[in-house]
Amino acid sequence: MTRLLTHSDLTALLDPVACLAALADGFRVADEVPVAGQRVRTDLPFPGTATALIPGLLPGVAAYTVKVNAKFPGARPALRGVICLHGGADGELLALLDSATVTAWRTGLAAALGTHVLAAPDPAGTAVLGVIGAGAQAELMVRGLRTLRRYSALAVYDTDAGRAADFAARHKGEVSTSAAEVAARADVVLLATWSRTPLLALADTRPGGHLTTLGADEPGKQELAADLLDAGLLVVDDRELAASMGALAAAGLPASAADATLGEVLRGEHPGRTGAAALSVYAPVGLPWQDLALSWLAFREAERRGVGAEADLLG
């Protein structure tokens, strides 16, 4: 039997603290898997793209994921798809999970983790948080960050003023009139947009600031200018992917421009931020093992609690 886990099922099953712990563990050990994950993307004769992430693997998990997404920027939601969770012993299809939900959770929470690790320590919670792009991934980034650290204020900008206002109301923030205004005010800036031209350059940033850019996850998308990426500590999730389809590719920078991966920082192989005045950037693309980390959590909890319908797809 295959368990079907919808958006409402997943939001009931997933817990940010448990997900953050699973993602942190994954970053530390994912490189031990001998089979590299792949991202496959293609244009379509429609106003969108198709993407597949295969296979999601982690040491100690006897399962793997295959994710297929449709990305249509003009649609709401803009991302739709499915994650297949297969058993490792015989390929049994254990579960089908709503990809939009898992992707938002794993992307937003992994970004929150990277932001917390790289941003300047702020035990008093005096820093201002900025959000550019008030969509589902920003929602999970802010939610995840607030389990890891405090902020004194929140500034939000989105090209859709109504969405920015709704986001600000949910999170007790204030709406800004531009991306540059957010960057001028915030110590930590989170970007999650569909932009194909840089929204911020080095001149827009504050000394000692941190920026996390999620939008540059496929060719042609870009949120940060090359001078900004080249100016401070630049951390990615995968050097080659960042250089082929992520923030480095968009800025015309090679894989060697990345100072470290987040896994290297979490394993203590790179010191990460070394001073309060330094500028830091986290520019992930998103990796297949992250889908497995959260899908496995959700599936095991669903099995324990009996959540989700079951179907015999071979019947």
If we measure between CA atoms, which residue out of 54, 99, 51 comes closest to residue 289? 54
| pLDDT surpassing 90 at residue 26 | yes
**How far is residue 288 CA from its own chain's centroid?**
12
The CATH number of 2-103+288-311 is: 3.30.1780.10
pLDDT value at residue 239: 96
Domain 121-282 has CATH 3.40.50.9100: no
Reported as type and span, the H/E element at residue 51 is strand 49-56
Domain-by-domain residue ranges, the chain? 2-103+288-311, 121-282
pLDDT tens, position by position, 244-271: 999 999 899 999 999 999 999 999 999 9
Rounded mean pLDDT, 189-217? 95
- Packing angle between helix 16-29 and helix 99-118, nearest 10 degrees? 70
Rounded mean pLDDT, 206-230? 93
pLDDT value at residue 219: 85
DSSP string covering 74-129: TSSSSEEEEEEEEETTT--EEEEEEHHHHHHHHHHHHHHHHHHHHSPP-TT--PEE
pTM, rounded to two decimals: 0.95
